Structure 1
Amino acid sequence: MTIALSQFDEVRLDRVSRDFGALNALRDVSLTIRRREFIALLGPSGCGKSTTLNCIAGLLPVTGGAIWLDKNRVDTLRPEDRGFGMVFQNYALFPHLNVRQNIGFGLKMRGRHKAEIDRKVDEALSLVRLQGQEHKLPGQLSGGQQQRVAIARAIVIEPPLVLMDEPLSNLDAKLRLEMRAEIRRIHNELGATTIYVTHDQDEALSLADRIVVLRDGVVRQVGTPKELYEAPSHLDVADFMGFRNKLKGKVIESDNGRAIIDVEGARISGVARERLLAGSSAYAAIRSDDLEAGEPGPNALKVIVDTIEYRGREFVGTAHTAGGLDVVFRSHQAVEPGASVYLRADDQRVLVFAEPIQGRS
């Protein structure tokens, strides 16, 4: 293989901040990324994930802190001097250049000899499986093919770091799944180090070695997909990791990592993720997949069904409680809208969090 990415031990963000006037887009972000890791920056719009990526790339200057590649500080360098590969959300291909010319553009700008450019472009075409498409213009390619060209252009310069900013957001659902697998395959084959921005938790879970969840420019939690999925440390992280039901109640008791809260008269028990005081407000966070229609009993909440959708092997419904709490649930039986049902979750699948301070979720 002629493409051999530059090697290093780690990329380190040391208390990186980025301000836009009075707006603190990033606040003291610290993160160490090891060689060959696939890191996903995950969070809602405006959380700071793309700003973080652009600061690493050099497209935005930092207003505080530093970025290091091993012992070399890189945030003071121009983007072209950092040598990182970038894959943009909108592909950013040159419409008047064919596939081969687009992929080889960065090498040409670096003054490489034609024979070397041809050899490396051929290697990149093979890696992204675009042989036979090299003389087409971007407008003659599908969205997935254009994304492959963008990836090939980013890796052909042999960067120490590959940066991807929501690269699949413009593709349809089927193509997203296909390209997700391709991106991870390319990462593995190259032994690349990749930082990947996404707002899609499924993408992050399937692709990343570690996930970094951001909110309001602050890192909320860093962990493996399994850690983030099973044990989010904050209510807002749980919400973003698929715990769609957040049921507010009062703490009845809390001890030895377990808690029971009163939600509109129902006793809901679960795993306490924070220190909880009896009588204080708290939230039971439950995935819709873990909340099933059934009989009255422990951990059961009475609701009125609003909508029900057939999903093949099961039904997915929305409902509300008498007190106005919105709930999403699943059922193996059809349930009529307007019906009263009890929804139950296994207490091992319920996470209990203290009520956030000053309105932070």
Structure 2
Amino acid sequence: MAIASAGFRELRLDGMSRNFGAHNALKEISLTVQRGEFIALLGPSGCGKSTALNCLAGLLSLSDGAIWLDEKRIDTLKPEERGFGMVFQNYALFPHMSVRRNVGFGLQMSGVPKAEIERRVDEALNVVRLTSQGAKLPGQLSGGQQQRVAIARAIAVEPPLVLMDEPLSNLDAKLRLEMRAEIRRIHRLLGSATIYVTHDQDEALSLADRIVVLRDGEVRQIGTPQDLYRRPLHADVAEFMGFRNAIQGRLVRREGEEVEVDCGFAGAIRGQAVDVAGDRVVVAIRPADLVPMADGPIHAEVTGLEYRGEGYYGTATEPGGAELYFRTDAPLGVGAAVQLGAPAERTLVYAAGGVG
């Protein structure tokens, strides 16, 4: 079943920019999205991801650049003329209308014949597995069901593109996991493209075909989930992708990508050079990779520990005062001395100044 427009091949953002006075909220965003692709816009609050989505939807005009759907320029069109589906964070359902009326509302406002509205509503409710709930009011549904109604409303217009703005942020942890699987299933079923805004790296990694990392209105990296997870190209991207340990140091040896860094510890830290220009560098390590080792170069004192099922995650302070995040299989006590290290192949090194 493919609801998306038959002629749709690609969406192209060509230098899309948006200014609010002197503030550049989006700076020349360029991206090509193929039909059937799931794209996640990922970044911290204020990075421009929701602004980008609103520009795509037509809720904000561009300050510069263009948006193309195949050979047709669409940034000059009104929101309703673009034919995109939009799923909001707060569902935006009409509480006094039944599920069926909510799903068909946009079609009714567009003047679609009644019989066609009924067909599309039936199809959309079937896709989101809510066929038996059509007569209920939104308030009679769970949070996850309400979000599925919002998705059904978005896909009932048979859009070439579905835009989702942090749609799972109001759900509890269990429902978020369930709805991730549902959203991915629905996306595959539709055959349209999806652009999904999130600040949650786990959501982006689990859902997207490609991830676009934004920071201060600029694209920092575009890649597959595997690309972003294994090898962030910049220190700020690494920080956002879970490399919580950012340790300043000085490059003392380099052979190709293999480097050694003096961070003032008992021994040098070995790692992989990713974006290194001079000898002042920052070493990036995920907490899961920083573990106790008999010959670990980092001598530290445990300051906290919590159990997470597969092991313990803790904090430790090294003599210079920096706080580090590590994993251990042993229930270490607060105040215990520990030597920490990480595999060189999972330790990434960047030019200093790229984090924070």
TM-score by length of 2: 0.97
Tell me the equivalent position of 1:337: 334
Distance 2:69 2:310 in 1: 49
The reply on whether 1:41 has 2:41 as its aligned counterpart is: yes
Query: How far off its partner does 1:90 sit?
Result: 0.5
Report the residue type matching 2:38 in the other structure: F
Distance 1:112 1:274 in 2: 54
Tell me the equivalent position of 1:281: 280
C-alpha contact 2:304 2:315 (8 A) present in aligned 1: yes
Report the residue type matching 1:104 in the other structure: G
Query: How far off its partner does 1:296 sit?
Result: 2.1
Tell me the equivalent position of 2:249: 249
Report the residue type matching 1:256 in the other structure: G
Report the residue type matching 2:283 in the other structure: A
Moved over 6 A (4+): none
Report the residue type matching 2:39 in the other structure: I
Query: How far off its partner does 1:356 sit?
Result: 2.4
Q: 311, 315, 320: which is aligned to 1:314?
A: 311
Question: Deviations for 1:213-270, whole angstroms, at most 9, x for unmatched residues?
Answer: 0000000000000000001000010011111111111111223011111112330010
Distance 1:275 1:87 in 2: 41
Distance 1:267 1:351 in 2: 14
The reply on whether 1:6 has 2:13 as its aligned counterpart is: no
Identity of aligned residues (%): 62
Distance 1:276 1:174 in 2: 44
* Residue aligned with 1:220, SS: strand
Distance 1:275 1:145 in 2: 48
After TM superposition, the structure 1 = structure 2 runs for residues 1-361 of structure 1, keeping only pairs within 5 Å, are 1=1, 4-7=3-6, 8-265=8-265, 266-277=267-278, 280-297=279-296, 300-356=297-353, 361=356
Q: How many residues align structurally?
A: 354
* Residue aligned with 1:101, SS: helix
Query: How far off its partner does 1:275 sit?
Result: 3.1
Which segments of 5 or more consecutive residues in structure 1 lack a partner in the other structure?
Answer: none
Distance 2:310 2:78 in 1: 54
C-alpha contact 1:251 1:276 (8 A) present in aligned 2: no
- Segment of structure 1 superposing worse, 215-224 or 89-98: 89-98
Distance 1:59 1:147 in 2: 21
Question: Deviations for 1:131-174, whole angstroms, at most 9, x for unmatched residues?
Answer: 22111111111110110000000001001100000000000000
C-alpha contact 1:249 1:283 (8 A) present in aligned 2: yes
C-alpha contact 2:276 2:349 (8 A) present in aligned 1: no
Distance 2:308 2:48 in 1: 34
C-alpha contact 1:254 1:276 (8 A) present in aligned 2: no
Report the residue type matching 2:5 in the other structure: S
Query: How far off its partner does 1:312 sit?
Result: 1.9
Report the residue type matching 1:208 in the other structure: A
CA RMSD of aligned residues (A): 1.2
Distance 1:11 1:312 in 2: 43
Distance 2:126 2:169 in 1: 24
Distance 1:72 1:99 in 2: 34
Distance 1:267 1:243 in 2: 19
Distance 1:192 1:161 in 2: 6
Report the residue type matching 1:275 in the other structure: V
Report the residue type matching 1:330 in the other structure: R
Distance 1:186 1:261 in 2: 47
Report the residue type matching 1:201 in the other structure: Q
C-alpha contact 1:87 1:165 (8 A) present in aligned 2: yes
* Residue aligned with 1:250, SS: strand
Report the residue type matching 2:26 in the other structure: L
Distance 2:263 2:337 in 1: 17
Question: Deviations for 1:13-33, whole angstroms, at most 9, x for unmatched residues?
Answer: 111111111111001111111
